[in-house]
Amino acid sequence: MKLNSEPTASRPRIAVVYGTRPEAIKCAPLIKAIEAHPGLDVTVVVTGQHTEMVDEVHQIFGIHADRDLALMEPGQALGRLSGRVTSATSGVLREIRPDVVVVHGDTSSSTAAALAAFSEGIPVVHLEAGLRSHNLRNPFPEEGNRRMTTAITSLHLCPTPLARQNLLAEQISPNSIVVTGNTVVDALLTAKTDADEPENAALRAALDSGRRLVLLTMHRRESWGKPMEAVADAVRQVADAVTDIVVLCPMHPNPAVRTTLTERLGGHERVLLTEPLSYRDLVAALRHAHLVMTDSGGIQEEAPTFGVPVLVLRDATERPEAIEAGCARLTGTAPLAVFTDAARLLLDEDAHGAMAQAGNPYGDGNAAVRAVAAIAELVGIGTRLPDFEATAISDRAIPLNV
């Protein structure tokens, strides 16, 4: 699919808009691939929501933000944030006049930026398109955000064949869909080689303990309250029962999360509660983990890159590919299920090995190359590459030539 616009004298300009650390991580390989393309220019626009964490990602990947909207505001309601992002992004787009705007995923700010581009008559490219839980309330507001973004997108860059099927079921034109793989795998393969000695003291202590590392993360809105309490109680029981493990639990800044985890897990000698990990330290933790327990969407995609089994602490997931591939299990939040699944993977070597060797259905390290080829085709200066097929394990990735 190509745009019906006349070519300009200058190279087509691609604006990439994001604001959170997960978005920055997944957009970084795309930005670097656009920079390397001889026929494209890129402008990076950040909304300023996670300034310090985004700055760290930029430093790791050598990215400079061309525009910072500086929209961070403590306790900001989703509606207010969305309105401010739409307004501020519209102003920047009128100034820089890009040919295409790229947004990522399912945050409220990415949907707002997509709406700004659509309102300015600029084609939207949606990176990580097609994820669906088929439940508007879970996850909230992400499921609604991604559906709204789909409706105004010109080019859908899907991470997996299943994501493509989701869009086809919604009558999205096949010509507007490209399966790229997930750029999070590209990012991990780069960051993995750059990982240094961990900065986080709790992570260092865990790695020096001689025990197997269990990484636990919970932060989602739907996990607050009783679900998180139930999981924390089960994890404490696991730590009591399996004495050769250490549980590392980076805590989200939200008081609803910190209070529950501190009350339920604090004081256990083999449970280390700590501040959020930097991206470098998260990569180090994933590399050394024996088991990951999480409600995070991103970590569900990242852990299989390192062959680490994942227990998904949610009742539903929009990322079923890992479960179908066998490298993740949808455990939920019921205490007995959490305890049983975790204990089995910690005590049964065959069960653990089967999940660890299942491979990675999310990418082969070439997602950004495929994405840029599709964008180049969109603006009339190239041809898309063959779609990603979930057959290669990421650590064996073979670079594609454009």
Q: Which positions are catalytic?
A: 106, 128, 142, 219, 221, 252
Residues comprising the chain, all counted: 402
Which residues have a Cβ under 8 Å from the Cβ of 302 and sit 6 or more positions away?
184, 188, 282, 286
Contact indicator for 338, 60 with CB cutoff of 8 Å: no
399: left (phi over 0), alpha (psi -120 to 50) or beta: beta
**Separation of alpha carbons 214 and 237, rounded Å:** 14
DSSP string, 68-124: E-----TT--HHHHHHHHHHHHHHHHHHH--SEEEEETT-HHHHHHHHHHHHTT--E
**Separation of alpha carbons 45 and 16, rounded Å:** 6
DSSP reduced 3-state for 287:
helix
What is each CA distance from 283 to 195, 198, 268, 271, in whole angstroms? Answer: 7, 9, 25, 20
The count of other CB atoms within 10 Å of the CB of residue 5 is: 11
Name beta bridge partners: 398.
none
Contact indicator for 127, 102 with CB cutoff of 8 Å: yes
